């Protein structure tokens, strides 16, 4: 059974995350500060950690992650409230697998956890794609263009990941939605077009993403 530890000091957010994770059938342990969070992670050895950056007391989320990384490679998703925190996550070797900025939708978090867990299970699959100056690293959740990090929103990542994992295959909008957002996601397939536009804008012309009229999209 998938076990999650959530370290978050705001009770509303912690409870909401716990609720959504339990709905997936995952067990959830909630800690509200750095030291007890670290202790819980070490004791429980969870499959996944959700870690708020802004924790009360001496130890913030970065400190927890740094400590944790001495002994564990458990996937960590940071919750951040501020852009400068995002810069630190992207800029430093913080050892995070992913991050989400507040406010976020819990569904999005669940989708991202599933994506990271899936990646963990598919370890043998190559996770890095190079398209000229554009490098997409699915393992590290990192896209760089001419060596500079490109910040992608979580749904953009989910879509990009779906495209990369099915490189060379034509995918309909509905297929992309099912893969990227999960089959239980209810929404307009045109959402895919919106995110494709964002990906093209952010990643530039080296992303070999073709629009197939009347069909959908194909990468490569
Ligand atoms: Ca906080």
Could you say which architecture CATH assigns to the domain 3-124?
3-Layer(aba) Sandwich (3.40)
pLDDT at 202 over 90: yes
Give 32 Cα–ligand 1 centroid separation in angstroms: 9
Give 149 Cα–ligand 1 centroid separation in angstroms: 26
* 154 DSSP assignment: H
- 179-188 contacts, C-beta under 8 A, 24 or more apart: 180/111, 180/155, 181/111, 181/155, 182/111, 182/114, 185/107, 185/111
Q: Which residues pair with 219 in a beta bridge?
A: 209
Q: Over the stretch 38-58, which tens digit does the pLDDT of each residue have? A: 999 999 999 999 999 999 999
What integer pLDDT is reported at residue 153 of this predicted model?
Answer: 87
Give 52 Cα–ligand 1 centroid separation in angstroms: 6
Give 218 Cα–ligand 1 centroid separation in angstroms: 40
Please, which pLDDT band fits residue 149 given cuts at 50, 70 and 90?
Answer: very high
Q: Is the separation of the CB atoms in 8 and 15 below 8 Å? A: no
* 97 DSSP assignment: S
Q: Which residues pair with 217 in a beta bridge?
A: 171, 211
Domain ranges of the chain: 3-124, 128-219
Residues, CB-to-ion distance under 5 Å, ligand 1: 9, 52, 54
Q: What CATH number does domain 128-219 carry, 1.10.357.10, 1.10.10.10, 1.10.1740.10, 3.30.300.130?
A: 1.10.10.10
What integer pLDDT is reported at residue 34 of this predicted model?
Answer: 97
pLDDT at 87 over 80: no
Give 9 Cα–ligand 1 centroid separation in angstroms: 5
Tokens of 162: 């779906």
Give 182 Cα–ligand 1 centroid separation in angstroms: 28
Give 33 Cα–ligand 1 centroid separation in angstroms: 9
Give 16 Cα–ligand 1 centroid separation in angstroms: 14
pLDDT at 125 over 60: no
**Cα angle value 44/48/50 (rounded, 5°):** 105
């Amino acid at each position: 059974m998938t076990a999650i530890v959530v370290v978050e000091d705001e009770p509303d957010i912690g409870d909401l995350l716990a609720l959504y994770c339990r709905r997936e059938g995952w067990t959830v342990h909630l800690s509200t500060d750095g030291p007890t969070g670290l202790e819980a992670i070490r004791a429980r050895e969870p499959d996944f950690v959700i870690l708020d950056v802004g924790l009360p007391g001496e130890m913030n989320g970065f400190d927890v992650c740094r400590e944790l990384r001495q002994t564990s490679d458990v996937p960590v998703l940071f919750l951040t409230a501020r852009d400068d925190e995002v810069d630190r996550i992207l800029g430093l070797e913080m050892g995070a697998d992913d991050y989400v900025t507040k406010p976020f939708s819990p569904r999005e978090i669940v989708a991202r956890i599933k994506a990271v867990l899936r990646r963990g299970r598919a370890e043998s699959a190559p996770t890095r794609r190079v398209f000229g100056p554009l490098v997409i690293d699915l393992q590290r959740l990192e896209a760089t263009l001419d060596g500079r990090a490109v910040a992608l929103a979580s749904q953009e990542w989910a879509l990009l990941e779906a495209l990369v994992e099915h490189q060379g295959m034509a995918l309909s909008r509905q297929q992309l939605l099912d893969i990227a957002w999960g089959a239980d996601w209810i929404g307009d397939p045109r959402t895919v077009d919106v995110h494709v536009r964002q990906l093209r804008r952010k990643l530039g012309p080296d992303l070999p993403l073709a629009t197939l009229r009347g069909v959908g999209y194909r990468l490569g």
